């Protein structure tokens, strides 16, 4: 069923080796078509699955991966800058460079390290970006996974003046019964909104899947 739907919903040339659920792909495509990025950032290139739609929708893209092997297909992506290494070290100078330039970075995907500290570090760097003329949407993949969720939860969101909203459950995740990851919770997209203007009140937080997630956890390996 999902393959039939995918074939109708996506151009087959961009729906290749994309490591996301169908609902997450649809959400990502909608965000891209709404924000129409000049520049995008992707942390976690892997098999270029999410990179294909991001590159197709953006004038130019930075993609980051710690594994040089994931950057072997650079020739197929003329508008993409491939940055190889641990994003803990490679992302901060790129954010500095983009902050001092004049381009709008309207889209970022955080899908690299899934360790709590790595997620917190990547998101904290992304949240340092100051939007120039347009909003910036950051999506963080696997927001339902306990380690990733702890990483998202422990970012000092209020300390970033351009962060207006954090939605942990823009797309909810799932409890897997697939043999290799049975009992594990993966998937979900958190969405973070940065605006050019400085926030005047508190950050708007939303986590409407939290109750479901707690119930799910009791059935999982974490419960
Ligand atoms: C889940 S995959 C990305 C999937 C891809 N975004 C997609 O949807 O098709 C995660 C990738 O992040 C990379 N990664 C893990 N830790 C990293 C780190 N500290 N810095 C940069 N990349 C990292 C891994 O090598 C892997 O290729």
Closest CA to 76 of 101, 51, 98: 51
Best of 14, 27, 40, 44 for a ligand 1 pocket test (most atoms within 8 Å of beta carbon): 44
- Please, are residues 41 and 107 in contact by the beta-carbon 8 Å criterion? yes
Work out the burial of residue 203: count CB atoms within 10 Å of its CB; fewer than 13 is exposed, 13-18 middle, 19 or more buried: middle
Q: What b-and-e string marks burial along 112-150, b requiring 16 or more CB atoms within 10 Å of the CB? A: bbeebebbbbbbbbbbbbbbbebbbbbbbbbbbbbbbbe
CA of 198 to the centre of ligand 1 (A): 31
Confirm whether 139 is domain-assigned.
yes
User: What is the strand order of the sheet 163-171 is part of?
Assistant: 80-84, 60-65, 39-43, 105-110, 136-141, 189-194, 163-171, 204-206
Which range marks the domain in which residue 85 is found? 2-218
Is residue 143 within 6 Å of ligand 1 at its C-beta? no
Confirm whether 178 is domain-assigned.
yes
Place of tokens 């151009």: 11
Confirm whether 46 is domain-assigned.
yes
Confirm whether 209 is domain-assigned.
yes
Confirm whether 84 is domain-assigned.
yes
Confirm whether 212 is domain-assigned.
yes
CA of 151 to the centre of ligand 1 (A): 15
Confirm whether 201 is domain-assigned.
yes
Is residue 62 within 6 Å of ligand 1 at its C-beta? no
- The CATH number covering residue 72 comes to 3.40.50.150
DSSP class of 69: G
Confirm whether 223 is domain-assigned.
no
To the nearest 10 degrees (0 to 180), the angle between helices 116-126 and 87-100 is: 10
CA of 70 to the centre of ligand 1 (A): 9
Q: What is the tally of structural domains in the chain? A: 1
Ordered per-residue pLDDT tens for the chain, 223 residues: 568 899 999 999 999 999 999 999 999 999 999 999 999 999 999 999 999 999 999 999 999 999 999 989 999 999 999 999 999 999 999 999 999 999 999 999 999 999 999 999 999 999 999 999 999 999 999 999 999 999 999 999 999 999 999 999 999 999 999 999 999 999 999 999 999 999 999 999 999 999 999 999 999 999 8
């Amino acid at each position: 069923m999902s393959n039939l739907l995918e074939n109708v919903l996506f151009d087959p040339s961009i729906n290749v080796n994309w490591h996301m659920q169908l609902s997450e792909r649809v959400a990502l495509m909608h965000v891209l078509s709404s924000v129409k990025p000049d520049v995008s950032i992707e942390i976690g290139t892997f098999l270029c699955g999410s990179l294909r739609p991001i590159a197709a929708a953006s004038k130019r893209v930075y993609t980051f991966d710690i594994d040089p092997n994931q950057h072997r297909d650079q020739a197929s992506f003329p508008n993409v800058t491939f940055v190889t290494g641990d994003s803990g070290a490679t992302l901060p100078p790129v954010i500095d460079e983009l902050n001092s330039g004049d381009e709008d970075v309207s889209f970022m995907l955080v899908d690299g390290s899934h360790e709590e500290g790595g997620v917190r570090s990547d998101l904290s760097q992304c949240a340092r970006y100051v939007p120039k003329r347009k909003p910036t949407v950051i999506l963080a993949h696997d927001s339902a996974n306990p380690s990733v969720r702890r990483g998202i939860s422990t970012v000092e969101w209020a300390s970033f003046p351009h962060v207006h909203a954090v939605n942990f459950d823009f797309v909810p995740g799932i409890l897997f019964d697939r043999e290799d990851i049975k009992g594990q919770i993966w998937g979900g997209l958190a969405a973070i909104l940065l605006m050019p203007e400085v926030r005047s009140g508190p950050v708007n937080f939303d986590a409407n899947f939290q109750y479901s997630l707690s119930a799910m956890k009791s059935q999982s390996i974490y419960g």
